[in-house]
Structure 1
Amino acid sequence: MDAAIDALKAAMPEGGRVFIPGCAGEPLGFADALARRPEAAAGLTFEGVWIPGVNRTDWAGLHDEARAEAIFVAPEWRDSFAAGRLAFSPLTYTQVWRRLSERAFEAGLFTVAPPGADSLCSLGVAADFSPAVFERTRVRIGLIHVGMPTVRDGPTVPLDAFDVVVEVDTPLPGYGAGAIDPVSAAIAARVAGLIPEGATVQTGLGKIGVATLAALGDRRGLRVHSGMVTEPLIDLLDRDAVDAVTTGVALGSSALYARAADDPRMRFRPVGETHAISTLAAIPRFVAVNSAIEVDLFGQVNAEWMDGRQVSGAGGLIDFLRGAWASDGGLPVVALPASTKGDALSRIVPRLSCPPSVGRGDPVVVVTEHGVADLRGLSIDARAQALIAVASPAHRDRLADDWSAMRQAM
């Protein structure tokens, strides 16, 4: 990795902007090497789309004079965010795709599979954002990762397009949601009941998204169109529940990565395609399933704030919900537990105390373990009633009283 670091410093003696991929393409070995040579990070601004819970490197924390730009906030980056070294931008995936595709980068790292006989390198299971910046990057550093699979259908880059090539043999970043708890399983069962055979499904990370995929094994004719896919997809493919998969990223174990290389039903596409409203609107019966932290009685969704602190970002949430809205027969689903902390705290709240991730102008289908509240087409009073009905029974009376008070003050 020293060759990659030396190339960076030679290309940018005064510093500059560096693209760093995320998800399974995160260059962990490079991060470790840079941590051993922190002075090499001085003056650099690292930019990429790094996923909380998956990509843990605090790029801005490598040196006091290093900076980073991101669309998420994660616990590992909290100190840099608080110190102002990490610039957080509340952008959707389609918005950050456009920003990246219009920016010039002095250097960029690109994790790719070993080249084939045609001297082309597959972007493998991390095809999300690298295509946006590749042509606009002055010095391209190719990390030839022996563990990155060459997928059958996905973006490639020519080996001779790299200025520096480094071979890498460290494990790819993985992902596991952990054991599925009974509440997540109950929510997933309700969500699965909304998904007909022949539908196209998108799910996010987290226990509810993983549990929803796992609950679809008895379906036939499904298609998956998602920003990322996780481990339960293997079972759906084995059971022939899914006919085709379009995704930008696979996140899971080596078994999932091997399946991505071998299964002809899987294809990988960049965010400019997977999240584009024109693409999503053209998919009939597109069901987008995403989780949230809380929903208020106006139908506004918080997917980013907890206890008054920014803990995540909107990511592809808005893109997929709006795509499902525009789809013929589509469903924009937000799924969450009705309460937390042993039922002491309701996650259906009277009014959000933070900026909404999804405004009330984008009504969704809210699913908890207690039921389904389809807010589309409802008046504000009908929305509130529908949401109170899927809240925890222990909190319904208080929510009704709060709504009555807010309604009288309008």
Structure 2
Amino acid sequence: MVWFKAGPLFEGSEKLSAMYKAKLVSPAQAVSIISSGDNIILPPGAGEPEVLVEALAERRTELKDVRIHQMLPLREATYLKQGMERHFRHISWLTSSVIKRGVKEGRAGVMPGYLYEYPELIKDLDVDVFMGTVSPMDEHGYFSFGTSVDYTIAAAGCAKKVILLVNPNMPRTMGYSFIHISQADLIVEDNSPLLEVPKPTLNKIDQTIGDYICQLVDDGSTIQLGLGSVANAAAQCLKEKKGLGVHTHFVTDTIMDLVECGAITNRRKNLHPGKIICSSAVGSQRLYKFMNNNPLFEMHSVSYTNDPMIIAKNDHMVAINSVEEIDLLGQCASEPIGPKLYSGTGEQVDFARGAMKSRGGKTIVVLHSTHKGRTKIVPALESGSVVSLSRNDVDYVVTEYGIAKLRGKTYRQRAEALIAIAHPDHRDGLAEAAKKAGLTR
């Protein structure tokens, strides 16, 4: 299904048209340049070139130890399945549910790091091939990486070979999202729908959390919204706000909804006024269509969007992210719970630190108080758990039972504030644990 026309592709330049045709090949021909031991980089999310990835999997008996680096895969590609590990190894920079099993079983690896550093880290890799989905070429010979800018410009710039999958369903986004045909070695065409992530459903707990978030977000604030379902669902309550701006890594359907209802205008931003500054889009076909040729959105590399020093230049910056667990000191775990490492850090630390340095900024972490009857506010994180946000990076914590202000508080005050927003069934146990640990009297 193609839901918008690409427009006149090659008007005004026979040279560009000839160059395009000379590089146009089939998926099988494109991936034939890949050899055993190669390092391949794919864009995250909807930018994954599915046709090329599946064509590569067809060559599995010819290949060994091909390393595929990617952030946030949205589907279980053939090469990720059990039995493929002799031929392909996935290196995850930010995992999703489709890859966690492979990481746990040792069939895939995780490269931790702050997201804003990834374009620099890529330069230290010996990148053999970059493969990514782009919008159709314009009359000047440029393609857009559309939904998935992130680290793609850096990867394409240092790869020995660049393969572009041209798909008219990929939106043409503004900003620093473009690559010229002269930079491509091979071109493949496809018109498959882009990969989607469903919008989270707002339940009563999320509604309550959203009401508390609304108390913390002032009109005119610039917001960042993480990918967590709790944060996205709760943030739908921001529709009553006025003059919000956006500086974020991921754009979601929730952001689009807030634009359409008039809550997000970006007019009060002191940095890039009038623009949503972002690096990636993860959502529905409606979101991708909304972004096509829309000057409201300005895409940048994560080296810019996620740099805490850049984030901090936004006055009244508010970072809103979900966490999995928090202990009574304020340490947050958003990756593995326990010793099994299966996830990367994501954008939380980048934005938490940037928001804390912003004039009038806030960082808000949100979570349900329990999961399947188990408290998510715990006396101490389980041994081996990775601390995603240190106790020094946490400002406000929100559950369905209220708001805990941690920044500038003693350990005792932190423990008491967190116990007060825990589920009532677990407060006595947490209070007893706090006394044993010497946090309270």
Which TM-score band (shorter chain)? over 0.9
> Does the C-alpha gap of structure 1 residues 312 and 186 become closer, same or farther in structure 2, counting only changes over 3 Å?
farther
Aligned length: 405
**2:353 alignment partner AA:** R
Match of 2:168 among 131, 146, 154: 146
Alpha-carbon shift at residue 279 of structure 1 (Å):
0.7
Q: Which residue of 2 aligns with 1:294?
A: 325
Equivalent of residue 378 in structure 2, options 335, 345, 349: 349
Q: Report how far residue 189 of structure 1 moved.
A: 1.7
1:312-351 mapped onto 2 (5 Å cutoff): 312-341=343-372, 344-351=373-380
Which residue of the partner structure matches residue 202 of structure 1?
224
Larger strand percent: 1
CA RMSD of aligned residues (A): 2.3
Letter in 2 for 1:131: I
Who is 1:258 aligned against?
289
1:242 match: secondary structure: coil
C-alpha displacement at 1:118, in angstroms?
0.7
CA distance in 2, matches of 1:144, 1:64: 30
The one-letter amino acid of 2:310's match is T
State how far apart, in whole Å, the 1-side matches of 2:32 and 2:111 are. 27
Match of 1:267 among 273, 298, 323: 298
Q: Residues 115-146 of structure 1, C-alpha deviation per residue, up to 9 Å, x if partnerless?
A: 11111111112111101211100110011111
Give, in angstroms, the shift of residue 58 of structure 1: 6.5
What amino acid is aligned across from residue 50 of structure 2 in structure 1? L
In structure 2, relative to structure 1, the CA distance for the partners of 1:76 and 1:369 (3 Å cut) is: same
Go from structure 1 to structure 2 and tell me whether the alpha carbon gap of 1:284 and 1:408 turns closer, same or farther (over 3 Å shift): closer
Find the residue that maps to 1:69 and give its secondary structure: strand
Contact 2:229–2:322 at 8 Å: present in 1 too? no
SS at match of 2:431: helix
Which of 87, 107, 110 is equivalent to 2:109?
Answer: 87
1:56 aligns with 2:76: yes
| CA distance in 2: counterparts of 1:33 and 1:174, whole angstroms | 21
Residue 393 (structure 2) aligns with: 362
| Residue equivalent to 2:433 | 402
Query: Aligned partners of 2:302, 2:65: CA distance in 1, in Å?
Result: 29
Instruction: Provide structure 2 residue ranges, at least 5 long, that are not aligned to the other structure.
Output: 1-23, 266-274
CA distance in 2, matches of 1:79, 1:319: 27
Taking structure 2 as the reference length, the TM-score comes to 0.86
Mapped to 2, the partners of 1:190 and 1:283 lie a distance apart of: 23
Structure 1 residues 83, 38: CA separation in 2 closer, same or farther (over 3 Å shift)? same
SS of equivalent residue, structure 1 residue 157: strand
8 Å CA contact retained: 1:92, 1:317:
no
How many angstroms does 1:104 deviate by? 3.0
Shift, 1:75, TM fit:
4.3
Q: Which amino acid aligns with 2:378?
A: V
How far did residue 308 of structure 1 move?
Answer: 5.4
Q: Aligned equivalents of 1:101 and 1:195: distance in 2?
A: 38
> Hey, what does 2:92 align to over in structure 1?
70
Do residues 43 (structure 1) and 65 (structure 2) align? yes
Which stretches of structure 1, 4 residues or longer, exceed 6 Å deviation after superposition? Answer: none
TM-score, normalised via structure 1 length: 0.92
Q: Closer, same or farther in 2 for the Cα pair 1:267/1:41, shift >3 Å? A: farther
Q: Measure the CA separation in 2 of the matches of 1:346 and 1:83.
A: 27
Name the SS for the 2:277 alignment partner: strand
Q: Which letter maps to 2:297?
A: M
